[in-house]
Amino acid sequence: MSNLIYTIAEIGQAHEGSLGILHSYIDALSKTGVTAVKFQMHIAEAESSEFEPFRVKFSYEDDTRYEYWKRMEFTLEQWKEIKKHCDDVGLDFVCSPFSNLAVDWLEEIGIKYYKIGSGEVNNFLLLDKICKTQKPIILSSGMSSYEELDKTVYFLKSRNADFSILQCTTSYPTQPKQYGFNVIQELKDRYKVKVGFSDHSAKISTGVSAVCFGAEILEFHAVFNRDIFGPDSKSSLTIDEIKQLVEATDDISVAIQNPINKNQNLQYTDLKKIFEKSLAVNKDLKKGHILTIDDLEAKKPKGYGILASEFDFIIGKKLNKNLSKWSFLNYDDLE
């Protein structure tokens, strides 16, 4: 289990309303090394209405967004089983509520963290209820300006909330020019909290790069195959890609936590003796010969002749003895 970068694989709506498919995702993701799986708790009657439009009209069977959320619902008892399954395979259960009722359910289930989606950043009614639970909050900043984020951060801090922020671009799939890696450090400097990256690019390289830019949390959508029906499939990583991402970001995290002191290279002393070189002559030379650069070669190992780095000092010097071709050249060979 990775605990270097906090990695969150979001199942979201990839289950298509099927409890069996959802549990299959939990089992598959438990083998990738991710820290947590994330869900979205949609209770249609509490969060939506018949007037809610589709972001993308992807559904063949749902006439309205409300009907889609209704089809994505699970009962409270089913959610308890989902949470238990996560516990059984060692994954943190993380969920985004989209209504106050969902918060009530999640508290009954026993959630570890709350994830706030980009569309809920200004929903202070919801945030107030979550703050009262005293559970940590992970906040996506996808659609928010700094002016809006400032208000939300002030709201959270005024309630002593423990929160972190994710740089996120609400575009599916996100293109390279939209990643906004620069915002990761800006958020750290501005709010002095842990900052991560929520990705919708469907590329391993994006998450790897985000860690290099300082992200300590990575969130990404998971899908068995990007051709599967659903609103987030094209913006998701496959199970194999997630495993590769976790391995890569763990390695990078270790590297970042272990900076190299370039002034300290004592550990290479023995290797330097093998790989570095000594000066030698590249032809038979007579006593009294005045050395030129064309007479010299550098040969391994170090320590058998003048250092190759000092060749300039012996140009124009005279030999005090005969030297045969490929002999190492030392200072006691010179007048």
| Integer angstrom CA distances of residue 248 from 138, 233, 242 | 23, 23, 10
Which residue(s) pair with 40 in the sheet? 96
Burial of 88 by CB count in 10 Å (0-12 exposed, 13-18 middle, 19+ buried)? Answer: exposed
Q: What's the CA gap between 188 and 174, in Å, rounded?
A: 22
Q: What's the CA gap between 18 and 41, in Å, rounded?
A: 14
**pTM listed for this prediction:** 0.85
Q: Are 9 and 37 in contact (CB under 8 A)?
A: yes
Q: Are 210 and 181 in contact (CB under 8 A)?
A: yes
Tens digit of pLDDT at every position of the chain (335 positions):
345 899 999 998 899 899 999 999 999 999 999 999 999 999 999 988 878 777 666 666 777 888 888 998 999 999 999 999 999 999 999 999 999 999 999 999 999 899 999 989 999 999 999 999 999 999 999 888 999 999 999 999 999 999 999 998 877 788 989 999 999 999 999 999 999 999 999 999 999 999 999 999 999 999 999 988 777 888 899 999 999 999 999 999 999 999 999 999 899 889 989 999 999 999 999 999 999 999 999 999 999 999 999 999 999 999 999 999 999 999 999 99
Domains and CATH numbers, the chain: 6-257 (3.20.20.70), 266-333 (3.90.1210.10)
φ, ψ of residue 285 in degrees (nearest 5): -130, 140
Would you state the pLDDT for residue 153?
97
Of 222, 229, 173, 215, the closest CA to residue 10 belongs to: 222
Reported residue count of the chain is 335
The SS3 assignment for 195 reads strand
Please report how the helices 124-131 and 146-158 are oriented relative to each other, as an axis angle in degrees rounded to 10: 30
Q: Compute how many other C-beta atoms are within 10 angstroms of the C-beta atom of residue 109.
A: 18
The SS3 assignment for 41 reads strand
Which residue(s) pair with 168 in the sheet? 198
Would you state the pLDDT for residue 228?
85
Of 37, 6, 32, the closest CA to residue 22 belongs to: 37
Q: What's the CA gap between 248 and 255, in Å, rounded?
A: 11
Q: Give the CB-side neighbour count of residue 301, counting CA atoms within 13 A.
A: 8
Would you state the pLDDT for residue 106?
98
What is the DSSP secondary-structure string of 287-331? TTPBP-GGGEEEESSTTSSSBGGGHHHHTT-BBSS-B-TT-B--G
Q: What is the dihedral of CA 159, 162, 167, 169, to 10 degrees?
A: -60
